[in-house]
Structure 1
Amino acid sequence: MCGFTGFIGETNNAFDVLTEMMETIVHRGPDSSGEFVEDGAALGFRRLSIIDLEAGSQPIYNEDQSIVLIFNGEIYNFMELRDDLVAKGHNFLTHTDSEVLIHGYEEYGKDLVAKLRGMFAFVIWDRSEKKLFAARDMFGIKPFYYSQMNGTLLFGSEIKSFIPHPHFQKEFNEKALKPYLTFQYPVLNETFFKGVYKLPAAHYMIYEKGNLQINRYWTPQFKPSDQPLVKLVDEIDDVVRESVIAHKISDVKVGSFLSSGVDSSYVASVLKPDKTFTVGFGNQNFSEIDNAKELSNELGIQNISEILDPDACFSKLAEIQYMMDEPHSNPSIVPLYFLAELASKHVTVVLSGEGADELFGGYADYDTAPALKKYKKIPLLIRKQLGVVAKRLPEVKGKSFLIKGGLPVEDWFIGQAKIFSEEEAVSIVKPYLRNSLKVEEIVKPIYDQVKQEDDLTKMQYLDLHLWLVDDILLKADKMSMAHSIELRVPFLDREVMATASKIPTKYRVNHIDTKYAFRLAAGRSLPQKSANRKKIGFPVPIRHWIRTDKYYQEIKEYFTGTAASTFFDQEKILQLLEDHYQGKTNNGRKIWTIFMFLIWYKVYFESNSIPFVETKSKQTKQLVTTR
């Protein structure tokens, strides 16, 4: 639902500047817009109408208009909160969830955020106190960026909205590149734009008299229960069903993304929407369409699918990187872009299965294979020595096995993506780019919070803080909003998390399967093969594309360009490309990671305009303005 942007600080022509900022995010809210501009404060809002279609415009005010709100997201317990606030004497003028935030802030202050069940990023401006309060949801489902430049605080749903502001200085953050090459996504809190930061998930922000305070209001915790397995499975199924029902509240059409995996299948089986949506590639190994159609037929619902064309995919790479704001090389972003486009022709809201792996233990890395269990019977000292030696080896068969078997999880697990090793990343970037945070410095503060936990919980905890927020959820938000649809994730819910935290390690991952208890719960709604199907994860044939002369030549043009010579050792990255093209090795993901960065850099730092961006506004904007 929607997007916002704004600033606090004296600016000439503030209304015109805000209007231009809002135009950069029109895709997030094509239905209407609203502005508040007064005494150095400017709040802009673009609306995608979901609930209370007639009366849900923003900014929204309290009774005496002393407090102003702009809000992106959905609050699923808003009726419960509304009843409590009405009982306390608050008067509501609309039936939107947005108004609950205004009155909730009046009643509870900063404690409001801990009461919310939903996905959100919002800003509240206190006109009398000249004070800003902002917050982001507990999982980081909705993005929130901010920057302090030249006496002005900028904030918004997307970084691109800052660029029109005269106080914004667009500058490349040199420290972001090296970590990105390892993680494949923008992992630092400071973005690829110097001086622009992410408000972390589960944090709120207060800005008053030029002072900025940021505080955490929630921390994920795992507290295993000794309940019998059947009781835990009952609870998982109950809470998932209740969450899906809560997440389908809408005054517009709701559909569901559907892959062949258990997560989206479980959501679709409970939701039973009129339509599910799936995309894939022509190669059978890179398509989930057949499995999705089979399940949809069994559920008695329509599956709408599309086979993707590589030429179409390459033609949209620049637009995809523009919409992402920062370089992002997860290949699944490409089919996700087209999946959202397909769904947007039929519905305004889609439910999806993100988050189940992180909460319930679904990734392959979480599994300790039988061979590794046997290896761990060797004395720890010997295994540790072998692990240290293995870390220094080039990428050879058996290296990962020796490292995982001999070293603590903190020494080798950095999340669900590891493209270049740190040593490789250092070797291919120019010397001036090497002085940035090391991988260990990025993951250690997170691991330090769970020192006493078991290895599985440590891995889940790290993924919840890095991979989930800055890869999975970021691309889900940006690619759905690029096509003006709202994506909801019922597994990433306060109540679902409370249940997931109870599941003992043995029922998360065991010798039978990953996500064991969760799969048993899903099996109550799904055919057995759907509930037990292994994760595929939006497969994309990039390694084959790069060995096709047409695409190889396109990538080579970037690798031999000025930007590549500025940031990389061109001889080394061209060798990576040549070796892959000639079939000597599979460097597909490494090449793609460099390629996506170079496309992003061209869009944001080498181009004077963004020709592929179309205005998506459906009507003349509705002004809600104080000037």
Structure 2
Amino acid sequence: MCGIAGIIGASHFKENMQKMLESMGHRGPDHSAIYKSKNCILGHNRLSIIDLSEDANQPFIDPTGRYHLVFNGEIYNYKELREEIGNRYQFRTSSDTEVLLASYIIYGKDCLEKLNGMFAFAIWDQDKKKVFAARDRFGVKPFYYSHNQGSFIFCSEIKAIHTIVNKVVNETAWANYFSYGSYGMPEETFYSNISQLPGGYFLEYQEGSLQKYCWYNFEKRIKDGASDSGSEAEIKNNYLNLLEDAIKLRFRADVQVGFNLSGGVDSSLLLALVNHLHPNHNIRAYTFYTGDERYDELPWVEQMIANTGNPLEMVRLNSAEVPQLAEIISDYQDEPFGGIPTLAYSKIFRQASEDGMKVLLDGQGMDEQWAGYDYYSSNTNNLIQGVGKESAFKPEVLSRDFGELGKQPQYPEPFSSRVQNLQYRDLFYTKLPRTLRFNDRVSMAASTELREPFLDYRLVEFAFGLPENMKIRGGVHKFLLREIVKEFVPFEVAEAPKRPLQTPQREWLGSELVPFVEQSLQDLKECRYAIWFDFDLMEREWKSYRKNEKGHSFFLWQWINTALLLKNYQ
């Protein structure tokens, strides 16, 4: 896991690249280096995970000196790819980095179809003066860029571009965030002069021309693969075989591997299988709690640990920590993020880092592939789990001109099934992209790598393509997955319902954190973007929230998060 950066085209100094790398030094504290030629500057911060030797440092150059690679992520099937390549390339390291470069040299852009991993990378062809860059299928690893004035600038985090490019907010993205809870479309960011390469896309940049292409056609793969999947027993067996292989691949590391554990079905299954496949590793598990039994998942976590015997590190978040931690994490995120649960989650990675842990596994991705959210079986189009009929947003507090910029996001519906269209939306436009961004930033803030075995594309495609009654049956979501889980975890865990709320955010914001909320509202009033809001209405909503029974608190978090991100903009 690393941080990558590049400046192609217009003249820039090496000092510019140094600023970019320093701004995201947390992504790779083990080594930092720069490559510079007349037309190209590449930079890399390395977090060493596979092949810890200096020979695997980046920017990585092929033996001929023609190709220069900067790469963030992991190619989990690199050993198989290396064997396939054979003697067509003379390897100097045992790294997945070199396998990636060799694959591109031999297969060109078709190498992407061979990769099983999470990645964002760029390859500079010195002969053609051309950049080839790509992002993994689901966009686990970030790739941001700015293209103007004859230059192409890319990096792993927005803040790095902002060291040499002015900050210009994307008011439409912000208006959609306040009105509809949107975190942007796949190419958008909250800054109008910075874009992101969507997951499953590659780009080519040469002589001022930028071209983007979709290399992962998920819709076509699902439709082409549609067939009778066999009996339920066969489906369970086939899925379990794929899952075990996905976990084995993601255990490839030359450093210690740990585990994030919640009390949910997904992470419980993952922990059980990890122990089944690696019985002698005694993997350390991490979980967070707040001391509020209405939200903490400790009862389920402790049941799992009693069953598996793994050492458990319980990381507590107190309300008093929230103001300072929220400011710190906002700086790492660059864009709005989910709320106090993200702050709690960030403490896990900080603790793991202090324990010398460089890699953590996580159970992200099951709900999207197995239709785990409550709204899959309701008539709502909610983007937030557990909201019910209550609105999570307060667009009425926006000024008229600013509010009119917001437009209801429209998402493609390529499938005949309503449930599959919602799953597709969540995989590529809403739930998963924003969660992956939140998680990438909080893990890398602590210089730790996060791996999600359930996002192996083979698993996602297999489960997504199953008939609806395999996913939702008798009002039970993730039905067949729960049947698989029962073979490995305690019954109470396998049958546990989806719990959308993991911290007492709404209670804290209306009690212990009142001074923090009020200071945030004051910061909004004093910032450059105060014209976005009607503060009389905002104050009325705030007073109503404090006085009445606490409802949904997401709109409050939106205001707080915005104050943290924009209060210093001039």
TM-score, length-normalised on structure 1? 0.84
Q: Which residue of 2 aligns with 1:613?
A: none
* Alignment map for 1:457-606 (pairs within 5 Å): 457-511=420-474, 513-537=476-500, 539-548=502-511, 551-560=513-522, 561-563=525-527, 565-583=530-548, 586-603=551-568, 605=569
Structure 1 counterpart of 2:359, from 339, 346, 349: 349
1:330, CA displacement in angstroms?
3.9
Pick 1 or 2: higher relative contact order, CA cutoff 8 A, min separation 6. Answer: 1
Q: Distance in 2 between matches of 1:240 and 1:424?
A: 38
Q: Which residue of 2 aligns with 1:5?
A: 5
1:425, CA displacement in angstroms?
5.2
Q: Which residue of 2 aligns with 1:358?
A: 368
Q: Which residue of 2 aligns with 1:379?
A: none
Deviating more after overlay: 38-47 vs 281-290: 281-290
* Alignment map for 1:419-434 (pairs within 5 Å): 426-434=395-403
* Alignment map for 1:92-111 (pairs within 5 Å): 92-111=91-110
CA distance change for structure 1 residues 498 and 586 in 2, over 3 Å: closer, same or farther?
closer
Query: Does the aligned pair in 1 maintain the 2:179–2:395 contact within 8 Å?
Result: no
Q: Distance in 2 between matches of 1:330 and 1:76?
A: 31
Q: Which residue of 2 aligns with 1:217?
A: 215
Query: Does the aligned pair in 1 maintain the 2:167–2:191 contact within 8 Å?
Result: yes
Q: Distance in 1 between matches of 2:450 and 2:560?
A: 28
CA distance change for structure 1 residues 83 and 192 in 2, over 3 Å: closer, same or farther?
same
Deviating more after overlay: 429-438 vs 200-209: 429-438
1:178, CA displacement in angstroms?
1.4
1:102, CA displacement in angstroms?
1.1
Q: Which residue of 1 aligns with 2:296?
A: 287
Q: Distance in 1 between matches of 2:438 and 2:163?
A: 24
Q: Which residue of 2 aligns with 1:443?
A: 410
1:491, CA displacement in angstroms?
0.4
Which structure 1 residue ranges, 5 or more long, are not aligned?
369-403, 607-627
Q: Partner of 2:118: helix, strand, or coil?
A: strand
Q: Which residue of 2 aligns with 1:64?
A: 64
1:423, CA displacement in angstroms?
12
CA distance change for structure 1 residues 536 and 419 in 2, over 3 Å: closer, same or farther?
closer
Q: Which residue of 2 aligns with 1:151?
A: 150
CA distance change for structure 1 residues 535 and 585 in 2, over 3 Å: closer, same or farther?
closer
Deviations 1:136-172 (A, max 9, x none): 100111111111133221101100001222xx12112
Query: Does the aligned pair in 2 maintain the 1:183–1:417 contact within 8 Å?
Result: no
Query: Does the aligned pair in 2 maintain the 1:67–1:126 contact within 8 Å?
Result: yes
CA distance change for structure 1 residues 417 and 462 in 2, over 3 Å: closer, same or farther?
farther
Q: Partner of 1:286: helix, strand, or coil?
A: coil
CA distance change for structure 1 residues 489 and 554 in 2, over 3 Å: closer, same or farther?
same
Deviating more after overlay: 550-559 vs 208-217: 550-559
Q: Which runs of 4+ in 1 moved over 4 A?
A: 413-426
Q: Distance in 1 between matches of 2:269 and 2:336?
A: 32
CA distance change for structure 1 residues 365 and 228 in 2, over 3 Å: closer, same or farther?
same
1:220, CA displacement in angstroms?
2.4
Amino acid at match of 2:238: E
Query: Does the aligned pair in 1 maintain the 2:383–2:431 contact within 8 Å?
Result: no
1:307, CA displacement in angstroms?
2.0
Amino acid at match of 2:4: F
Q: Distance in 2 between matches of 1:432 and 1:120?
A: 40
RMSD: 2.1
Q: Which residue of 1 aligns with 2:20?
A: 21
Q: Distance in 1 between matches of 2:295 and 2:199?
A: 33
Query: Does the aligned pair in 2 maintain the 1:328–1:597 contact within 8 Å?
Result: no
Query: Does the aligned pair in 1 maintain the 2:394–2:555 contact within 8 Å?
Result: no
Is 1:271 the counterpart of 2:284? The answer is no
Q: Distance in 1 between matches of 2:454 and 2:359?
A: 16
1:291, CA displacement in angstroms?
2.0
CA distance change for structure 1 residues 557 and 498 in 2, over 3 Å: closer, same or farther?
closer
CA distance change for structure 1 residues 557 and 330 in 2, over 3 Å: closer, same or farther?
closer
Structure 2 counterpart of 1:309, from 306, 315, 318: 318
Q: Distance in 1 between matches of 2:395 and 2:289?
A: 35
Q: Partner of 1:332: helix, strand, or coil?
A: helix
CA distance change for structure 1 residues 421 and 322 in 2, over 3 Å: closer, same or farther?
farther
Q: Which residue of 2 aligns with 1:78?
A: 78
Q: Which residue of 2 aligns with 1:384?
A: none
Deviating more after overlay: 76-85 vs 46-55: 76-85
1:269, CA displacement in angstroms?
1.1
Deviations 1:187-245 (A, max 9, x none): 23321112101110100011111111111111324436341111111112111111111
Q: Distance in 2 between matches of 1:510 and 1:331?
A: 33
1:174, CA displacement in angstroms?
1.2
CA distance change for structure 1 residues 186 and 420 in 2, over 3 Å: closer, same or farther?
farther
CA distance change for structure 1 residues 182 and 469 in 2, over 3 Å: closer, same or farther?
farther
Identity %: 28
Deviations 1:463-485 (A, max 9, x none): 01122443211111111001000
Q: Distance in 2 between matches of 1:280 and 1:581?
A: 24
Q: Partner of 2:134: helix, strand, or coil?
A: strand
1:499, CA displacement in angstroms?
2.2
Q: Which residue of 2 aligns with 1:255?
A: 258
Q: Which residue of 1 aligns with 2:331?
A: 322
Deviations 1:232-280 (A, max 9, x none): 1111211111111111110001010000001111111111352000011
Q: Distance in 2 between matches of 1:426 and 1:224?
A: 45
Is 1:367 the counterpart of 2:377? The answer is yes
Query: Does the aligned pair in 1 maintain the 2:229–2:235 contact within 8 Å?
Result: no
Is 1:35 the counterpart of 2:34? The answer is yes
Deviations 1:469-506 (A, max 9, x none): 43211111111001000000000012212321342110
Q: Distance in 2 between matches of 1:420 and 1:159?
A: 35
Q: Distance in 2 between matches of 1:567 and 1:4?
A: 34
TM-score, length-normalised on structure 2? 0.93
Q: Distance in 1 between matches of 2:24 and 2:397?
A: 35
Query: Does the aligned pair in 2 maintain the 1:184–1:329 contact within 8 Å?
Result: no
Query: Does the aligned pair in 1 maintain the 2:184–2:190 contact within 8 Å?
Result: no
Query: Does the aligned pair in 2 maintain the 1:173–1:192 contact within 8 Å?
Result: yes
1:415, CA displacement in angstroms?
6.3
1:185, CA displacement in angstroms?
5.3
Deviating more after overlay: 115-124 vs 285-294: 285-294
